[in-house]
Amino acid sequence: MSSATPIDDPLITTFGRLAEAYSRLEQWLGSAMESEVGLPHVWFEVLIRLARSEGEQLTMSSLADQIALTTSGVTRLVDRMQVAGYVERRPCPTDRRVSYAGITATGRDMLDRAAVVHARNLRKVFDGFTPQDLAALDTALDHVREAASGLPRRP
């Protein structure tokens, strides 16, 4: 008879499975996107979030929150993407301290090309899932995202 220890907590296993699945998908999908269209996956994430935002722009801090980088990390990332012509910095008309990252026409063209590749590869990953499976996954991930968004920045 064995006693349960903290490392046997089922939630630790659940989170580990989520982290492992994400890591494997990130490696495979990111590698495919970079080799097929020359775009790093994190750049794709920036472009799609900008394209789906009001005015096709986000504040640097909002962008950092959405892609899980520090504000200095997102600043360096946007610098590189700006050099490539995919994004531009836009000043806030009401607050000089606030800066926006906005998608450019070149960035939008690249996003459109990359989205075709990404969607095709995602279809391969989720090929065996039923519409009900995908709906349940979306619901579960929405719950996780909602729970995570209520957490403080640092414990």
Residue-wise pLDDT tens digits, 29-53: 999 999 999 999 999 999 999 999 9
Instruction: Identify the three-state secondary structure at position 149.
Output: helix
Tallying the residues shown for the chain, one arrives at: 155
For residues 32 and 118, what is the distance between their CA atoms, to the nearest angstrom?
8
Q: Please give the average per-residue pLDDT across 102-118, as a whole number.
A: 97
Q: What is the mean pLDDT of residues 14-42?
A: 96
pLDDT of residue 14: 95
Residue 102 in contact with residue 50, Cβ under 8 Å?
A: yes
pTM: 0.86
Report which of 68, 47, 42, 70 is spatially closest to residue 58, judged by C-alpha positions.
Answer: 47
Query: Which residues lie across from 57 on neighbouring strands?
Result: 102
pLDDT at 154 over 70: no
Side-chain half-sphere CA neighbours of 7 within 13 A: 0
Q: Residues 13, 30: contact at Cβ < 8 Å?
A: no
| The pair of three-digit structure tokens given for residue 91, joined into one six-digit string | 């000043």
What's the rounded Cα separation, in Å, for the pair 63 and 75? Answer: 10
Tokens matching residue 84 = 């490539």
